[in-house]
Amino acid sequence: MRLILITGLCLFMSGGAMAQSAPRMDDLPAEVRPEDLQATRLAAQIAADAGDAAAQFRLAGMCDRGEGGPRDPAAAYLYYRKAADQNHVPALLVLGEGYDDDNASKGAFDYNRRAAEAGSAVGQFRMGYAYEHGLGVKADAAQAYVWYSRAAKQQDAAGVQGLERVRGRIAAKDRTKAEANLQ
């Protein structure tokens, strides 16, 4: 496998057959032996720099964990952002994890909103949680109800629990309004 990756990279870099189109993350194996990580990181770098969102996400994770090269949190963040800029939902969710202070919560809120709007149950749960607890946004039980309901509709266990929690605290008129937003 290592020979295939290295041969492909050499062809790409030398203008051979692979140079006609940039490599894509789909061309790389999902499971990589530890001794092949450096070649995989290089291939991911080439595909990421060509604009492949999945490659940007994979490279960000490799940089974050120090796989196939030195750990580089700044590069990890850069490639997570590049993937998120293309609405890559897993990258949006990684960047949406920051709830440790108000400024981080505002940034996290935007990433989670985008993931939620793309249909991610995790993003929808996080939006419900943000509205329930006022993280990055003013607390709003009706909006928490809406987002938890969307996550629960997808069988998300945390969304179901959040919905049950908020259901008991929301006024009847606000619940009716929230349910109308679900249509």
Cα separation, 24 vs 49, in Å, equals 10
Which element (helix H / strand E) includes 126?
A: helix 121-133
Q: What residue spans define the domains of the chain?
A: 37-95, 102-181
Instruction: Please tell me the distance from the alpha carbon of residue 40 to that of residue 57, in angstroms, as a whole number.
Output: 13
Q: Which pLDDT does position 135 carry in this prediction?
A: 86
- On whether the CB atoms of residues 124 and 116 are closer than 8 A, the answer is yes
pTM of the model: 0.77
| pLDDT above 50 for 165 | yes
Q: What is the DSSP letter of 120?
A: -
What's the rounded Cα separation, in Å, for the pair 144 and 80?
A: 27
pLDDT band for position 15 (cuts 50, 70, 90): very low
The larger pLDDT score, comparing residue 154 to residue 107, is at: 154
Under a CB-based contact definition with an 8 Å cutoff, are residues 123 and 115 in contact? yes
SS3 57: helix
pLDDT confidence of residue 31: 66
State pLDDT tens for residues 139-155.
999 999 999 999 999 99
Asked whether the predicted pLDDT for residue 101 surpasses 70, the reply is: no
Integer angstrom CA distances of residue 4 from 39, 91, 119? 10, 28, 37
Q: pLDDT at residue 89 above 50?
A: yes
pLDDT for position 35: 72
- pLDDT at site 14: 34
Alpha carbon distance 73, 66 (integer Å): 9
